[in-house]
Chains A and B, each alone.
Chain A
């Protein structure tokens, strides 16, 4: 069975400081992994995805994530937070049949001025 665990339900950073959102996954085979962002009253937007190519994945808005098989992790980082980054972030693993995305519980990112 596949699953993801987001290790922090809430992260608070100051504007201009680094962001780290942590995600561990469980999968019996090579997974596809995604990070999605959800702003209030908006749908989900894809930030980046890993599909067994380069382990360091660059996404939109300066975000990136590194796939570490030995640690079963896929943490999301950004060097410098912006106020507009405040949102809910979801780590997602994909089943290889039937298109099912399995979401973590989400991490709420707050950015202080």
Chain B
């Protein structure tokens, strides 16, 4: 176990709705990254937060947003849901280290289905 938890485990929404996914990082890990994994694909980087500030973003539209809190928890918010947003959403926590060399510890993911 990595010590990273996510909730809920599964979620069903309809197009146009908004969703909030939650992640609890390992204690002491002040960096959290979010990834989207479509069926049969490798995870795609959405964004990273470090000390409650966005610290890098992948090729995702602004309707994907995040928050990080001082208690090592974080949220991924997606507005105006589209069918293609159906995927497994993974969060990963890490300690800041030599850039790019730190290990990211993944949670089990939240599976989102958009109908």
User: Which residues of A are in contact with B by a Cβ distance under 8 Å?
Assistant: 31-32, 34, 36, 41-46, 49, 51, 90, 94-106
For B42, the chain A residues whose CB sits under 8 A away are: 90, 103-106
Q: How many A-B residue pairs have CB under 8 A?
A: 74
Q: Is B66 an interface residue (CB 8 A)?
A: no
Binding site for A on B (CB under 8 A): 2, 4, 31, 33, 35, 40-45, 48, 50, 55-58, 90, 92, 94, 98-109
Query: Which residue from chain B places its CB closest to the CB of A41 in the assembled complex?
Result: B108
Min CB distance B85 to A, Å, is: 18
Q: Which residue of A lies closest to B102 (CB)?
A: A99
Give every chain A residue within 8 A of B103 (Cβ-Cβ).
Answer: 34, 46, 49
Taking a contact as CB atoms under 8 Å apart, the answer to whether A43 and B43 are in contact is no
Asked whether, in the complex, the Cβ of B90 is within 8 Å of the Cβ of A99, the reply is: no
Note all chain B residues with C-beta closer than 8 A to A102. 45
The reply to whether B106 and A44 contact each other, CB–CB distance below 8 Å, is: yes
Q: Are A101 and B33 in contact, CB atoms less than 8 angstroms apart? A: yes
Nearest neighbor of A52 in chain B, beta-carbon distance = B101
